[in-house]
Amino acid sequence: MPDLLRTSAVQLAAAIRDGTATSRQVVDAHISAIERVNPTINAVVAERFAAARVEADAADEAVRTGAELPPLHGVPCTIKESFRLEGMPNTSGLVRRRDVVSDGDATAVARLKAAGAIPLGVTNVSELCMWMESDNLVYGRSNNPYDPKRTVGGSSGGEGAIVGAGASPFGLGADVGGSIRMPAFFNGVFGHKPTGGLVPGTGQHPFAHGEALRYLTTGPLCRRAEDLWPIVKVLAGPDGEDEGCLDWELGDPDAVDLSGLKVLDIPTNGITRPWRELREAQVRAADHLRRLGADVQTVEIPAMKQGFPIWAASLGAANGVPFAELMGDGERVNAARELARWAARRGDHTPMASILAIAEDLLALVPDNSGPFVDKGLALRAELEDRMGDDGILLYPPYYRSAPRHAWPLVRQVVFVRFDYQYTALLNILQLPVTQVPLGLDRRGLPLGVQVGSRRGNDHVTVAVARELERAFGGWHPPAIAP
């Protein structure tokens, strides 16, 4: 029997199909793992263990009867709480939604179920999925499995933590500014932000509008790289509801010639240089690809200095629902008053949510100058795609350091006016596919990693590179807390 808490979803599905393991054994092993680690990391915020065991028994019966089996048959997983999962809460960390229970499934969840996956529960998020610390007043704060004093990232932070702790083979996340990639990075696992419009986001809260439908992406977080592509294939394709979803033709990671790659090694955004160990890990990845025959060029792209205003202007131009209205679940709240209530320990909102709403209101008083930054984003995308060519990639830091202590990102933004998440956020606006790849641990025992991006539609290329870098550098390194 394979090591049920270390192996990939693909291998677990194969073991279930050939009788080496049963779905019930696999599901029970992961439930036990969640029960062991969750009191420390607070990643799974609502469980459906009893239902999962019933579904696992049905999966085993299907194996015994010789039924045709889907690709993820009998394999457990977890789901970000912002996605609808029938019978599970769908609050998105908002106190006003604490009684909301899903009566159906989001498109991506339904597709995972149809592929045979068995959800074990839903995982923690930041309030309304708009901050890089998964903390809210409904479920509390999630903690990093490598060091509980540190952040798991956001907003798919619960997913990153439970997969990183070895208690879930893979999970479903969403990403509008790095919400898959930062949690994958901080928790040492793989995460894939698909090409804008490849996977429908129908059935998550909050949802996007207009062009932002292709900035907000849905994708997997996995402990093993070989799971990325099968899950992307399950998730991809229009559903007739998400108007931003496009019918992209998928390539094949197995057909990618790594010796012919053109690699743009981009060391920094030109504002905040990454810590030495993070830069050295990216250099090792670039050097490995060079040894395989890739053409590696270390370049700095001046336009990347404007990553934050490009992201903010492009999202603003998409004309979504005001954040203060989202905080009130349809009824606009007074964010300044909510911030004061939080300071008096009587509030219903996290401080960052109120700060974001206040900032949005202040920006509304300034004459609209978003157009030039939206245009700069389009020009930057054209420049990067031209430099990479048909099959090239870029290597880019996911953040400026390994996982920081809790609340430090808030201090960085409010006190020092540092928008460090622009390392990930910019790539949402460019709509490029990006795979977050773990690259070992730093001297503190915290995960290192790199973003691997490519031109739109080249998701298979970034996944192929992720698989090779996992082979070369080991991929996920289970933390001490892992069962």
**Does position 360 have pLDDT exceeding 90, yes or no?**
no
| Active-site residue identified among 8, 23, 80, 454 | 80
Residues 434-439 have a mean pLDDT of 98
pLDDT tens-digit profile of 7-30? 999 999 999 999 999 999 999 999
Domain boundaries, the chain: 9-308+372-473, 309-371
Q: Which phi and psi angles does 436 have, rounded to 5°? A: -85, 125
Look up the CATH superfamily of 9-308+372-473: Amidase signature (AS) domain (3.90.1300.10)
pLDDT tens-digit profile of 215-255? 999 999 999 999 999 999 999 999 999 999 999 999 999 99
Contact predicate 345/353, CB 8 Å = no
| Active-site residue identified among 179, 314, 370, 402 | 179
Rounded distance, CA 261 to CA 421, Å?
Answer: 27
Q: SS3 for 366?
A: coil
**Does position 367 have pLDDT exceeding 80, yes or no?**
no
Q: Which phi and psi angles does 334 have, rounded to 5°? A: -85, 100
pLDDT tens-digit profile of 278-326? 999 999 999 999 999 999 999 999 999 999 999 999 998 887 789 999 9
Q: Is 155 a catalytic residue?
A: yes
Residues 339-358 have a mean pLDDT of 93
Amino acid found at 318: A
Contact predicate 284/439, CB 8 Å = yes
pLDDT tens-digit profile of 114-168? 999 999 999 999 999 999 999 999 999 999 999 999 999 999 999 999 999 999 9
More confident: 359 or 53: 53
| Active-site residue identified among 126, 134, 155, 370 | 155
Low-confidence winner among 40-44, 59-63, 72-76, 206-210 (lowest mean pLDDT): 206-210
Output b/e per residue, 96-128; b: 16+ Cβ within 10 A: bbeebebeebbbbbbbbbebbbbbbbbbbbbbb
